[in-house]
């Protein structure tokens, strides 16, 4: 009986899967950096969704935490300006995780 192929081998054979794996790794890295910068009360309730065109999109765990994050946007932007992991981020948009797009 032939042993199963390892997922890393399969992913390495497809350009699309390699890009997706790299993108997931980058989002994980950005999430770790973001959580290290945010106050401990906010960190568990925010997650990086995407960084595009100078805009960081954050997912909030609920509508209430989205509101708290929105009030904190100026402070978060100041924190991001001091971190080399978020170069060029000028805007932050907040979305509620699981909510349909507007």
Is residue 59 one of the residues assigned to a domain?
yes
Report field, pTM of the whole predicted structure over 0.85:
no
All residues at 6 or more sequence positions from 9 whose CB lies less than 8 Å from its CB, including other chains: none
Q: Give the model's pLDDT for residue 96.
A: 95
Is residue 89 one of the residues assigned to a domain?
yes
**Domain total of the chain:** 1
Is residue 60 one of the residues assigned to a domain?
yes
Is residue 79 one of the residues assigned to a domain?
yes
- Contact call for residues 21 and 13 (beta carbons, < 8 A): no
All residues at 6 or more sequence positions from 30 whose CB lies less than 8 Å from its CB, including other chains: 48, 51, 85, 86
- Contact call for residues 90 and 55 (beta carbons, < 8 A): yes
Q: What is the CATH number of the domain that holds 65?
A: 3.30.300
Q: Give the model's pLDDT for residue 83.
A: 87
- Contact call for residues 95 and 49 (beta carbons, < 8 A): yes
Is residue 102 one of the residues assigned to a domain?
no
Residues of the chain where predicted confidence (pLDDT) is lower than 50: none
Range of the domain at 76: 7-96
């Amino acid at each position: 009986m032939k042993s199963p192929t390892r997922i890393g081998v399969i992913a390495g054979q497809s350009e699309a899967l390699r890009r997706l794996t790299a993108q997931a790794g980058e989002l994980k890295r950005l999430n770790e950096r973001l959580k290290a910068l945010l106050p401990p009360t906010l960190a568990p309730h925010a997650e990086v969704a995407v960084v595009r065109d100078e805009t960081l999109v954050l997912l909030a765990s609920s509508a209430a935490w989205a509101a708290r994050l929105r009030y904190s946007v100026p402070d978060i932007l100041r924190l991001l300006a001091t971190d080399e992991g978020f170069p060029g981020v000028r805007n932050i948009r907040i979305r509620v995780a699981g909510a349909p797009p507007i």
